[in-house]
Structure 1
Amino acid sequence: METENIAPLLWCLDFAIVPHYPVDYFLPGIFTDDENALGGGDPGWVWHREKQSDGTYRYYAWTVEDTSYLDPCEGEYDEATVKYHVRRALENFRQAHPERNAEVDEVIAKYAL
């Protein structure tokens, strides 16, 4: 698992898993090849994945530097790193919103987190 420069990924996660949307509202944008899936939003964040020639995926997160104050404001990650941090974000969400346990469990199973 890569650990360098995870700040852009964490920034994106902070806005992707929020109580006013379904838990997986933004997750298809990073875990599927659906070009219509939302992969970003306000305040200036985007994430996506790209299939590599060996069949694995690389994941990319980008933030608007003027908003996030991150430098560098983008990062590249392997699948293990992304899944680890998404799972942690979901577990934190679960603690804050225990009434949504079933929804969190569905998302964890759906994306094998």
Structure 2
Amino acid sequence: MSLSGGQKQRVAIGSAIASEREIIILDEPTSGLDLRHMKGVAHNLKKLQGMGKTQFIISHDLELILESCSHALHIEKGTISDNYPIDDEGEKKLFAFFIKYNQEIVDNQSALCI
């Protein structure tokens, strides 16, 4: 109970890794972590990838995605709307997606304020 939020997050990630499952699903694995710890998590996720572990990382953290993922999969309303490798072209698509996503949030917030 005395652990910080970031420490609890890292323990949760560690337990998922220690489970020795072939597929690991992580939902916002770096929420509450500072940049240094996020980069540490990204490094460990890349190590797992190198060990042949399949990981699904659900995140709104563009930097984490770029640091640790090899492919992007967009799911909208229960349907896969896009799937591509994160190469130079994929990075451009990710940036465009995040710009659109952030603009929708701003638009929705503005609508709520009217």
User: TM-score band (shorter)?
Assistant: under 0.3
Compute the TM-score of the two structures, normalised by the length of structure 2. 0.26
Compute the TM-score of the two structures, normalised by the length of structure 1. 0.26
Higher relative contact order (CA 8 A, sep 6+): 1
Q: Larger % of helix: which?
A: 2
